[in-house]
Structure 1
Amino acid sequence: MNLKKVSIIVPCYNQAQYLSEALQSVLDQTYTDWECIIVNDGSPDDTEKVAKRWCKQDLRFNYLYQENGGLSSARNFGIAQAKGDFILPLDADDKIGPNYVSLAVNSFQEDSFLKVVYCKAEKFGNEIGLWELPSFSLHDLSRKNLIFCSAFFRKEDWILVGGYDTNMIFGWEDWELWIAILKNGGNVKCLEEVGFYYRIKSNSMLRTINSDNEIAILNYLSIKHADFYVKYYGSFKSMENQLREVKRENEVNLKSEKFVIDVFCKKFFGFTIFGKYK
């Protein structure tokens, strides 16, 4: 079997204190045909010092520097230099399990239609335990992100969609990439083994997306991938008709004294007056 090189891209900005843990998890991989590109995104801390130490330890580690451009820009910069057929982004404060790369490459070899491979995941740091991820479907992907950032994809697909969108400055840039790669077809596989470890910190980006930024992200996704959203939700007119029908049904229900009393009793007392509680 002709196995392929994997490029692991590790952007780093003010994460030097965690970087060695991430790189050690790369070095521990049972699959050996990899390169790891560490991208210093203009970080003011000791990122360069730590990264160069690892580059001396193993020639498969490579170090790049760019002026601060944000996470999407740093990932794109690293991937552009990558020699691998398959790409794995890894944030500098996270870790991967020793079999993750091997299992992912085998999966790509077995299924030529496979576009994204991810795995079971665990949280560590300020919160520990299995990260309960929902099952994947394109319809559910239209509603929320279902795949964490450290999933495998082909470099050719990254090129095809134009890479990570640097307009996604508030986060969820990985969600946008999965939509771009998958909306026109292709298989997705979740490995049964825990292969990704996500560090929970008090200032994690996913925890700092405020409501205004969330609205901006969703509006941007709706415009950029209008074809994807229309496919699953219909046109704005069909959505308006659906909302009008729901409103009509609610108005009819609220006019029913029986309905109002039943809802009140079920919510506050756990039983209904006129019907059997379910």
Structure 2
Amino acid sequence: MKVSIVIPTYNEQEYLPNLLESIQRQDYKDVEVIIADANSTDNTKKIAEEYNCIIVDGGLPGVGRNKGAEKATGEVLLFLDADSVLTDNYLKCAIDEFTQHNLGIAITQIVPLEKGFINELSHEFANYFTKQISKRKPHGAGCYGILTYKSLHEKVGGFDEKIDFGEDTDYIERIAQISRFKVLDTPRLLISTRRLEEEGLKTLALKYTKSTAKQLAGNKVTLDDINYTFGHEKEKLKRNPRILYSLCGEGLGHAIRSAIVIEYLIQNNYDVIVFASDRAYQYLCTKFNNIHEINGFNTVYENNSVKNKKTFTYNMRDVPSDLQRNMSKMYKLAREFKPDVVVSDFEFYANLLSHILNIPLISLDNMHVITDARYKVSSKYMKDRIFAEAVVHAFIQKAKKTLIYSYFYPPLKDVKDTQYIKPLVREEIKKLKPTQKDYILVYQTSDSNEKLIELLKKNSDIEFRIYGFHEDKREDNLLFRAFTEEILYKDLKDARCVIANGGFSFITEALELKKPVLSIPVNKQFEQILNAIYIDRLGYGEHHDMITQNILDNFLKNVDTYHENIKENYKTVPNSEILEVIKDTIDNVI
């Protein structure tokens, strides 16, 4: 049974290739694809030609579908939107169910292309809603995968071209009067959430609820009734500034400070779309709606050391697929969202995207002190420094402005477009009133430092509360804690001092609460090494490449001195002052 797939298009170059690729991947091969194009001004027609599609003149969806159906030679017609994608084996499953149930007209349930709790929940609700409504009355539900026979299409005279909205429901109702209708159970269509992203879940839901209610009552609905436009061509003349914000997903430091920035921007009427990977994505999803997952780079640690070769090999293995997947998703959403500026907290793909789309880039991280400041370190770290500088240069190029979070301030190479800002610290920590009890807090960004644990066990007269090993247990004087913010805050508030790697965020939180730091940075991780060097230089604690009993004893002997140094010299400011600088920078770039 030959299937003619009819796709109305207007400027669909960003979406059409994915749909046509998904059609080519189908096991069901007796297919022709007809593109009914409404005078696209982009590369839509060229793409259709490259995929050997039949091209006819189109118009508004009803017109385009009818013209495509006229050209069709298949027994079955499948009407698709250009921003949909067929799931694996979609055609076979759809035709099998269609014929087994002796149907004359059917539509398909949907799955969002973009992951996320809100997207998935809203689409599952849409499926449920469509199936429930269909029990009372056949309904189009936005025309997702309408399947029918060409003979029935011709019998009812096709789509009513005089209807500018709801022509799909009208079409389904008329065919359902002379045949059987069903919402298919098995096949699913992947669909773009561009309407959802642009208009918001609440607005879009209200529009479709209003239209459905009118249609169920037997009334016709027009575009003007629900303020709907095809092609998304009506850009609001007055709109909020739009920011594409992307961040590194390794660890939680980038995510925690980014959450503060994102919340502030939203409160100040900026529209923000966010891309993140790994733990950052998981963290931000619990706080905001418009978060999109991408794949990121990860560091390989062994025995408290960065393994550069293994890190390179591990990440290069996935780069080709990650590059295609990430850039495809980010590019499509960015073209729809139309950001005024890209903000990157050390995230590689946003940097690429800003240059591809010619959107100004702001770098907002703590990493650029490595490349953008003048400082001296021991020659034994030179190899690590060179490697780190290469990574930073590779991740971010030609930022319009660079803001560097830092608690130390070596001279900048470029004071015109680069400036330091104070670290952002969670308000929950700023509100704490620190005390000094007898235990020591140990915070590790890697769980590979077994030698440290062995040393701490030998100091049985001291209690150590340890984070970073992802478990809750006690071993004599060692109390291991799995990460929870509330308990970590309390332990940090009352600790005498801290033993940590060189992670920026934790060090700044410790300094906020006036806690001396014994920093043992991860070997070969130059960013941590530099953070630790300045802890030592500023008199806020000590930096060592490894920990020994003598080092621990000496640190504890000088803890009170370090504590006084922090109290006297480490100046904190309200987050609002830092956020105002970020906001002003964004406004100036826009």
TM over 0.5: yes
Opposite residue 36 of structure 2, the aligned amino acid is: V
Give the aligned CA root-mean-square deviation in angstroms.
3.3
**Alignment partners' CA distance in 2, 1:223 and 1:71:** 17
The reply on whether 1:100 has 2:96 as its aligned counterpart is no
Give the match for residue 42 of structure 1: 39
Q: Determine the structure 2 residue equivalent to 1:154.
A: 149
Secondary structure at the counterpart of residue 165 of structure 1 = coil
Q: Find the counterpart in structure 1 of residue 382 from structure 2.
A: none
TM-aligned CA distance change 1:222 to 1:78, over 3 Å: same
Task: Assess if the C-alpha contact under 8 Å between 2:137 and 2:216 holds in 1.
Answer: no
Aligned to 2:172: 178
Q: Which amino acid aligns with 1:140?
A: R
Contact 1:117 1:191 in 2 (8 A): no
| Contact 1:40 1:65 (C-alpha < 8 Å) held by counterparts | yes
Cα distance in 2, alignment partners of residues 223 and 40 from structure 1: 26
TM-score by length of 1: 0.64
Q: Number of residues paired by the alignment?
A: 208
1:32: which partner in 2? 29
C-alpha change, 1:44 and 1:223, in structure 2 (3 Å) is: closer
Preserved contact between residue 85 and residue 156 of structure 1 (Cα < 8 Å): yes
- What is the CA distance between 1:89 and its match in structure 2? 0.9
The yes-or-no answer on 1:188 pairing with 2:182 is yes
Tell me the TM-score normalized by structure 2.
Answer: 0.32
1:268: which partner in 2? none
Q: Distance in 2 between matches of 1:167 and 1:106?
A: 34
Q: CA deviation at 1:214?
A: 4.4
Q: Which amino acid aligns with 2:49?
A: K
| Equivalent-residue separation in structure 2 for 1:196 and 1:223 (angstroms) | 27
1:70 maps to 2:67: no
Preserved contact between residue 165 and residue 173 of structure 1 (Cα < 8 Å): yes
> Which amino acid is the alignment partner of residue 190 of structure 2?
Y
Which of 1 and 2 has greater Rg?
A: 2
Q: CA offsets, 1:185-209, max 9 Å, x none? A: 424252324x2011111457x9499
**Does the 8 A contact of 2:144 with 2:189 survive in 1?**
no
Structure 1 unmatched runs, 5+: 56-60, 225-278
CA distance in 1, matches of 2:104, 2:56: 27
Which structure ranks higher in relative contact order (CA pairs < 8 Å, sequence separation ≥ 6)? 1
1:222 partner SS: coil
- CA distance, structure 2, for counterparts of residue 71 and residue 210 of structure 1: 19
Matches of 2:181 and 2:60, distance apart in 1: 29
Give the share of equivalent positions with the same residue, in percent.
23
| 1:200 aligned to which of 193, 200, 203 | 193
- The answer on whether the counterparts of 1:6 and 1:86 sit within 8 Å (CA) in structure 2 is yes
- Aligned-partner Cα distance in 2 for 1:79–1:106: 22
Cα deviation digits, residues 7-52 of structure 1 (max 9, x gap): 1111110211111011111111110000011121111221111111
Q: Which residue of 2 aligns with 1:128?
A: 119
Give how far 1:175 is off.
1.4
In the TM superposition, residue 129 of structure 1 has moved relative to its aligned partner by: 1.9
SS in 2 for 1:39: strand
Mapping of residues 255-266 of structure 1, within 5 Å? none
The aligned residue for residue 5 of structure 2 is: 8
Q: Name the aligned partner's letter for residue 77 of structure 2.
A: I
CA shift, 1:222, in A, is 3.4
Spell out, residue by residue over 1:170-191, the C-alpha distance to the aligned partner (whole angstroms, 9 max, x if none).
x322111111111344242523
User: Any idea what SS the aligned residue of 2:159 has?
Assistant: coil
Post-superposition CA distance 1:90-139 (Å, at most 9, x none): 11111111211112222343343x11234442012486326221325655
Segments of structure 2 that go 5 or more residues without pairing to the other structure are 222-590
Distance 1:107 1:139 in 2: 18
Q: CA 1:93 to 1:146, structure 2 compared with 1: closer, same or farther past 3 Å?
A: closer
**Residue identity in the other structure for 1:129:** E
